[in-house]
Amino acid sequence: MRLPLWLSLPISALVLTAWPATSYASIGVGVQAGPVRLTGAAHPGGQYALPSVYVVNTGTQPESITIRIERISPGAGRTVPAAWISVTSGPVRLSHAQSARIGLRLVVPRAATPGRYFSDVVAKGSAALAAGGANLGVAAATDLEFTVAPGVASAGWFSAPGWLLPYVAVVIVLGAVVAAIRRTGLRIRIERGPARAGTGGRTGHGS
Amino acid sequence: MVRRAWWAVVPLLVAGVTGCGAVIAPPLASGQAASINLSLTTVPTIRSVTISPGQASFSDCSKGDAVDNTKSTRRALGFPNGVCFVGSVTKQVFPITITNTGIASYIYVSGSGANPADLGTGWSLCTTRGLARCTGARHRPGADQYQVDNFSAFGTLTTGLTDAPRCDQRFGPGGSCWAVEGMWQKEGIKLIGPTTSSDTSTKWTVTITWTPVPQG
């Protein structure tokens, strides 16, 4: 059976326009080539904001990029325990050629051994191309370097428990309310009346 | 008189035509700023890899046990130790293109466990040497184990991929996985299945990941 010309032409055009989309689909991920390096030394018990890591989607398909810490590349130093590094944001969703910066935080336990630490920050793309039951994935790695110096991290010239700041704020607000009431000249007097049988005390009234 | 004038008119016409595109720029007044635009190309500061497979699927499956009716068919893996390919070693077909789209790096490759469609018991990746060794006869995958090798024009990996990324020894000549910007390689995949599978699912997913890695 032959297709009529009026039908075959649109179908041919559709096939031709769809062809590049299927034949050039690709997945790709990129990460900054420069290492993620902490300025200065870390100390046991300290918390540090690491420089954010730059990631980019180099493929044609949208994908989410996640960060994990893993020692892959050769290098000197102790392996960074993955639990020491936390990602300050969730996976980032990037379309083709889009890029983002992902924040990292280093938390050094008090029992950490001083010395040079080394691992890789691995950016992994969520997109996968299926090749007949085999999913093909991409990732990209860059070095992670820092040094842990002896001595517990100093807490700075002022340290306070976490509850103190909200407590102080509440006290200040209450003080401001009291001061405002006093400035208006409004007076509230509370009196206790004689107790009656079967009823509680009577709370007073303002004037 | 008119004929004699042609020798003077023709050069004038030629000069007029060839000079059409030329524009005499007006002289700049003294003290007026002038600038030119220059383009500059820098080396990449991104480490990245891109993968683009052609039309590919696991096929050319072989081996298995015909007596037990578990022999491989062309597109389905048989037991025990059926073998399937994405691409072909003998026909030199390598459907997966891996391109280093960033700064010069080592290209590493890793595998993962195989997951059944029913999310039941998976197959773990094994190798012919190392910690996750295949427990079957002659270092073949045992029960709930499988092996993945990659191949290219530079030959076939025979020890198996691991969960941890390792240098893709089929990326470059002489087992090198060093790739400068723009360097690419076409590869295929060989999968050797387990002796037996605890999970009866007939659909499985495996993942192979390529990672560009710094020199360290």
Residue A200: the pLDDT is: 44
Per-residue pLDDT for A1 more than 70?
no
pTM beyond cutoff 0.90: no
Q: Which residue has the tokens 């490759």?
A: B109
**Closest approach of B36 to chain A, Cα-based (Å):** 30
Residue B203 within any structural domain of the chain? yes
**Closest approach of B33 to chain A, Cα-based (Å):** 38
Q: Which of B51, B59, B213 sits opposite A27 (nearest CB)?
A: B51
Helix (H, G, I), strand (E, B) or coil at B176: coil
Q: Scanning every residue of chain B, which has its alpha carbon at the shortest distance from the alpha carbon of A119?
A: B216
Residue A82 within any structural domain of the chain? yes
Q: Which residues of A touch B165 (CB under 8 A)?
A: 72, 139, 141
Residue A182 within any structural domain of the chain? no
Q: Scanning every residue of chain A, which has its alpha carbon at the shortest distance from the alpha carbon of B110?
A: A137
Chain-chain contact of A33 with B102 (C-beta, under 8 angstroms): yes
Q: How sure is the predictor about A153, in pLDDT bands with cuts at 50, 70 and 90?
A: confident
Whether B177 has its CB under 8 Å from any CB of chain A: the answer is no
Per-residue pLDDT for A116 more than 70?
yes
DSSP per-residue letters across B75-116: SS--TTT-EEEESBTTTTB--EEEEE-SSSEEEEEE---BEE
B131: left (phi > 0), else alpha (psi -120 to 50), else beta? alpha
Q: Taking residues A191-195, what's their average pLDDT?
A: 75
Rounded percentage of chain A residues whose pLDDT exceeds 70: 76
Residue B113: the pLDDT is: 95
Per-residue pLDDT for A21 more than 80?
no
Q: pLDDT per residue over A72-83, tens digit each?
A: 988 899 999 999
Q: Which of A27, A134, A142 sits opposite B47 (nearest CB)?
A: A142
Residue B124: the pLDDT is: 97
Strand-pair category, A134-148 with A36-37: parallel
Alpha helix positions (H), chain A:
5-23, 164-184
Residue B187: the pLDDT is: 96
Residue B49 within any structural domain of the chain? no
Residue A196 within any structural domain of the chain? no
Per-residue pLDDT for A16 more than 90?
no
Q: Taking residues A169-196, what's their average pLDDT?
A: 80
Whether B205 has its CB under 8 Å from any CB of chain A: the answer is yes
Number of domains in chain B: 1
Residue A39 within any structural domain of the chain? yes
**Closest approach of B103 to chain A, Cα-based (Å):** 7
Chain-chain contact of B213 with A73 (C-beta, under 8 angstroms): yes
Instruction: Return the higher-pLDDT residue of B167 and A156.
Output: B167
Per-residue pLDDT for A131 more than 60?
yes
Query: Mean pLDDT for chain A?
Result: 82
Strand-pair category, B178-179 with B105-110: antiparallel
**Closest approach of A176 to chain B, Cα-based (Å):** 55
Residue A9 within any structural domain of the chain? no
Residue A73 within any structural domain of the chain? yes
* CA-to-CA dists, residue A174 to A170, B119, B175, angstroms: 6, 58, 74
Per-residue pLDDT for A56 more than 50?
yes
Q: Which residues of B touch A120 (CB under 8 A)?
A: 213-214
Residue B36 within any structural domain of the chain? no
The ranges of chain B with pLDDT < 70 are 1-30, 54-56, 216
Q: Which of A55, A57, A72 to mutate to test the interface with B (most CBs of B within 10 A)?
A: A72
Closest-CA residue to B189 (of B130, B149, B129, B131): B149
Number of domains in chain A: 1
Residue B128 within any structural domain of the chain? yes
Q: Would you tell me how many other CB atoms lie within 10 Å of the CB of residue A2?
A: 6
Q: Which residues of A touch B203 (CB under 8 A)?
A: 133
Residue B130: the pLDDT is: 85
Q: Scanning every residue of chain A, which has its alpha carbon at the shortest distance from the alpha carbon of B52?
A: A26
Residue B201 within any structural domain of the chain? yes
Residue A190: the pLDDT is: 76
Q: Which of A58, A135, A138 sits opposite B210 (nearest CB)?
A: A138
CB B168 within 8 A of CB B178: no
Least confident of A93-97, A99-103, A148-152, B81-85: A148-152
Residue type, B192: I
**Closest approach of A79 to chain B, Cα-based (Å):** 13
Residue B208: the pLDDT is: 94
Q: Which domain holds residue B125?
A: 56-94+107-164+186-210
Q: How sure is the predictor about A13, in pLDDT bands with cuts at 50, 70 and 90?
A: very low
Report ipTM for this prediction: 0.79
Q: Which domain holds residue A130?
A: 26-148
Residue A91 within any structural domain of the chain? yes
